[in-house]
Amino acid sequence: MADLSVNVGGTPSPNPFWLASGPPTNSGYQAHRAFEAGWGGFGWKTLGAHIVNVNSRYGALPYKGKRVVGFNNIELITDRPLEENLAEIREVKKRWPDRAVIVSLMVESKRETWHEIVKKVNDTGCDGIELNFGCPHGMSERGMGAAVGQVPEYTCQITQWVKEVSAVPVLVKLTPNVADITYPGLAAQNGGADGVSLINTINSVTGVDLDTMCPNPQVHGKSAHGGYCGPAVKPIALNMVGTLSHNPNFRLPISGIGGIETWSDATEFLLMGATSVQVCTAAMKFGFRIVRDMIDGLSNWMDGKGFQHISQFSGHAAKKLSDWGDLDLNYRVVAHIDEARCVGCQLCYIACEDAAHQAIRRDRQGDLSRVPRIDDEACVGCNLCSLVCPVEHCISMVGRDAAGYRSWNDYLKDGETPRGNYPLHTA
């Protein structure tokens, strides 16, 4: 049986599944229930400055029958009293010594204010601190959250202040609302962070109500931009996690966050270089119980692959992230339609004809008359037909003889110009 335990920059956890700071992590009551369900870690809802929340505060992006493909909020940090939270953290740690309790913090950018709150948190027995430099709404307008995470100098400076007094490892939670995640990541490292977590939420407006003509969510006839999360943000988060873990100058452990709903989502983050993962929206949609499936799924996958420990595969996929210029220009695939699976909907034909390379024909006769045919010579192997096909495994991309690895950068090195491989038009 696989060993799922991890250690994130000095914070041990029996499994890599942590709840991310947010509504599911706002009290000791929730911490007890989460740990009973099996979560390895609990990112306590951000403590800090006094705030007042608005009604309502959440919005969602529904898409073709799915109610919450993306989720959006204009909620601030915790509105519960600091002392109450600290007492509950102390109590939770006593009862769950083997689990990771990471306390998220956000206060104004003054050295003494940071020292004051970190010293209070030191006394709780928590296992780590997470600096919320990511919240993109409400707090950022007051100079906190993403306003810090978007300026590498501030990120480095405040991390240093926290490290001066913190008795436990410090994770810096990064904002995705930047052009290049490398800069804030390296700034956290330079400030002495023990790890980073990413991503926090993405600036967004999920939609506009066509009756009231007000953006969502509405607060007495007005709205505000909010933070986007849930399944829709997973590709952005995976890219940012991969970018940092792939960078040879970046050496900190990563806690991966963003759109994780299943064990396989989580495993993708581990493969892209995360050591632990954090989940918020999925816990809000489905409850704490989803962790059981995550533990079982990851264990089974690791057993099947012969991995005993997460460190044996963490970052494996990130190593395969390459510059575009290093990809093989001679690699060729063409689409193949499995006639037995094809339902004859011809969506592949329409997509290829109107928006790709006109490489699909409808010239078959008899029983196969609705099954399109790929013109191998015209197909550029773009994947579009296989992506729009509604039947799984019906269209696959099949490798063709390659003429030896040669990338754009190889050509440049040799002072040559690559020949185009755009196929001849036969349509």
Ligand X SMILES: Cc1cc2nc3c(=O)[nH]c(=O)nc-3n(C[C@H](O)[C@H](O)[C@H](O)COP(=O)(O)O)c2cc1C
135, 342, 352, 389: the catalytic one is 135
CB 359, CB 379: distance < 8 Å: yes
Q: Shortest CA distance to 171 belongs to which of 83, 260, 276?
A: 276
What single-letter DSSP state applies at residue 288? T
Stretch that binds ligand X, among 163-171, 214-222, 278-286, 288-296 (CB under 6 A): 278-286
Q: Which residue has the tokens 């099947």?
A: 304
Return the residue of 9, 45, 158, 241 that touches ligand X, per CB under 6 A: 45
Instruction: Kindly state the smallest distance separating residue 395's Cβ from ligand X, in Å.
Output: 30
Instruction: Kindly state the smallest distance separating residue 332's Cβ from ligand X, in Å.
Output: 37
Nearer to ligand X, 46 or 124 (CB): 46
Output the six-digit token pair for 86: 């600290």
Neighbours of 368 (CB within 10 A): 12
Alpha-carbon span 133 to 106, nearest angstrom: 7
Neighbours of 55 (CB within 10 A): 7
CB 11, CB 37: distance < 8 Å: no
Q: Point out which residues pair with 144 in neighbouring strands.
A: none
Stretch that binds ligand X, among 19-27, 60-68, 113-121, 345-353 (CB under 6 A): 19-27
- Interface map 95-114 toward ligand X (x if CB under 6 A): ---------x----------
Alpha-carbon span 133 to 196, nearest angstrom: 11
Instruction: Kindly state the smallest distance separating residue 18's Cβ from ligand X, in Å.
Output: 10
Return the residue of 9, 16, 22, 256 that touches ligand X, per CB under 6 A: 22
- Interface map 341-370 toward ligand X (x if CB under 6 A): ------------------------------
For position 21 contacting ligand X by CB under 6 A, the verdict is yes
Nearer to ligand X, 170 or 229 (CB): 229
What single-letter DSSP state applies at residue 179? S
Neighbours of 214 (CB within 10 A): 15
C-alpha 351: how far from chain center = 30
Return the residue of 61, 117, 260, 356 that touches ligand X, per CB under 6 A: 260
Output phi, psi for 166, to 5 deg.
-70, 135
Nearer to ligand X, 120 or 361 (CB): 120
For position 230 contacting ligand X by CB under 6 A, the verdict is yes
Stretch that binds ligand X, among 5-13, 273-281, 289-297, 317-325 (CB under 6 A): 273-281
DSSP string, 158-178: HHHHHHHH-SS-EEEEPPS-S
Instruction: Kindly state the smallest distance separating residue 54's Cβ from ligand X, in Å.
Output: 12
Neighbours of 97 (CB within 10 A): 9
For position 144 contacting ligand X by CB under 6 A, the verdict is no
For position 291 contacting ligand X by CB under 6 A, the verdict is no
- Interface map 61-90 toward ligand X (x if CB under 6 A): ----------x-x-x-x-------------
Alpha-carbon span 1 to 299, nearest angstrom: 7
For position 175 contacting ligand X by CB under 6 A, the verdict is no
268 burial level (CB within 10 Å; 0-12, 13-18, 19+): buried
Count residues near ligand X (CB under 6 A).
Answer: 28
Angle between helix 290-305 and 263-271 (nearest 10): 50
Q: Point out which residues pair with 170 in neighbouring strands.
A: 129
Residue 135 appears among annotated catalytic residues: yes
For position 23 contacting ligand X by CB under 6 A, the verdict is yes
3-class secondary structure, 45: strand
Instruction: Kindly state the smallest distance separating residue 399's Cβ from ligand X, in Å.
Output: 35
Instruction: Kindly state the smallest distance separating residue 170's Cβ from ligand X, in Å.
Output: 14
Q: Point out which residues pair with 226 in neighbouring strands.
A: 204
Alpha-carbon span 199 to 418, nearest angstrom: 38
CA angle 422, 423, 426 (to 5 degrees): 145
For position 233 contacting ligand X by CB under 6 A, the verdict is yes
For position 41 contacting ligand X by CB under 6 A, the verdict is no
Return the residue of 168, 279, 295, 310 that touches ligand X, per CB under 6 A: 279
For position 302 contacting ligand X by CB under 6 A, the verdict is no
Stretch that binds ligand X, among 61-69, 217-225, 274-282, 359-367 (CB under 6 A): 274-282
Catalytic residues, which ones? Answer: 135
Residues making contact with ligand X (CB under 6 A):
20-23, 45-46, 71, 73, 75, 77, 104, 132, 134-135, 173, 200-201, 229-230, 233, 257-260, 279-282
